[in-house]
Structure 1
C-alpha cells in the first residue's frame, strides 16, 4: 500500500518487481525447469526404444570361415536373412574372368573390382538374383552353373559368370558384393 507521502511500502516494492525477482517469476522458472526434466524422462525412453534390438544387431554382421573351401568350390551362408555365396576360384576360372573385356559386359566390373587385394581367388556375393530376387543355382556341387560356369537363376534364366557378373538373361546388374573384410587369412567378416 502507498503511504500518505506517495512512496511505496517495502512489501509493495517487492511485489511490483522493483527490488529483484518476484515470487511469480520464481514459480514460473521452477515450473519450466520441472517440465524440462520431465520432458527428458519422456524423450529418452522414446528414443531408446527406436534403437535396433540385440537380435537385429547380431544379424548385422556375419563371420564366415573359408578355410575348408577348396579351389572350385563354393559355400552358402546367411547374411541379414539372405543367402551369401563364397567361392574360391581356380586359376582357370580367374583367367576366364580376366579374359573378358569389361566393355562388353552389361554391368562392367573386372574380377579385381569384385575381390580383395591379396585374396583375388575368393569371391563373396549375395546369393540373390538382381532381376526379381530368386536364389541362383551354382553354389552347391552338381547344381546348374549356367552357360558361363558361375551361377544360373532358374526363375527367369539369368546366367552369371565365375566372377558373378551378368552375362545373359533379364538381370540388370551383377550379383551384389557386400561390404566385407578379411579378419584373418581364413575368416571373413561380412557387414
Structure 2
C-alpha cells in the first residue's frame, strides 16, 4: 500500500505535501498587533486635538474670582464680577438668618432653605449671581441705599421680582431663586468663586 509520500513521488516527481491550515496563534498575534498599532496612532492624533480644545491659562484665570470678605460688615452686601456677570456677596445678620429660616418652604416658588444656599458653618455668607432669573436684569439691593424690596433681599426694577434675604424668589415673574455659583472658602476671610 502506498503512503501519501509515495503518491507524491509517483505522480511525476517530488512535490511538497499540501499545506495545512494556517497557525491560529500567528493570525491572532497579527490581529492584536494591528489593533494596538491603530490604537497608538489614534492616540497620537487625538492628544493634540484635545490639548487644542483646552482653555488657555489667561482664560482659566478669568474663570475664578477671589473675594476678600474681611471688609464686609454684617448686614452689608458688595457687588463683584464673575465671568463677566455681576456677583452679590452678602454678610447676613443673625436677624436676617432667622427671618430666612422662618419662611415655610411650602410657600416658596423655588423651594430651598438658607442652609442649601450657603456653606455649612458659614450660613451668614450668601453668594449669588446678580442676575434676575426672569429676563437677566441686575436686581437692586447689594449697594448702599438701594431698594431691597418688600422681603429685604433684592428687587429687580425691570419687572418687579422681589427676593428675600436668602436670594429666594418671593414675588414677581422670576421663576427661580438667584443662582448660587460654585465657591469654596480658602480661608476664614477669602472665598474663591468658580
TM-score range, shorter chain: 0.7 to 0.9
1:64 aligns with 2:72: no
**Gaps (5+ residues) in structure 1?**
9-16, 22-30
Moved over 4 A (4+): 31-41
1:123 to 122, 126, 136: 126
1:28 aligns with none
CA-atom RMSD in angstroms:
3.2
Paired residues in the alignment total: 181
1:185 aligns with 2:188: yes
**Gaps (5+ residues) in structure 2?**
1-11, 17-21, 27-33
1:55 aligns with 2:58: yes
C-alpha distance in 1 between matches for 2:45 and 2:109: 53
C-alpha distance in 2 between matches for 1:164 and 1:33: 55
Q: CA deviation at 1:37?
A: 6.7
Q: CA deviation at 1:119?
A: 1.3
TM-score by length of 1: 0.78
Q: CA deviation at 1:139?
A: 0.7
2:155 aligns with 152
Where 2:175 maps in the other structure, the secondary structure is coil
TM-score by length of 2: 0.77
C-alpha distance in 1 between matches for 2:39 and 2:74: 64
Where 2:53 maps in the other structure, the secondary structure is coil
CA deviation vs aligned residue, 1:108-148 (integer Å, no higher than 9, x gap): 11222211222121111111111111111111112111111
1:165 aligns with 2:173: no
Q: CA deviation at 1:47?
A: 2.2
1:104 aligns with 2:112: no
1:44 aligns with 47
Bigger radius of gyration among the two? 2
C-alpha distance in 1 between matches for 2:89 and 2:177: 15
Where 2:97 maps in the other structure, the secondary structure is helix
Where 1:49 maps in the other structure, the secondary structure is helix
Change (3 A) 1:5 1:33: farther
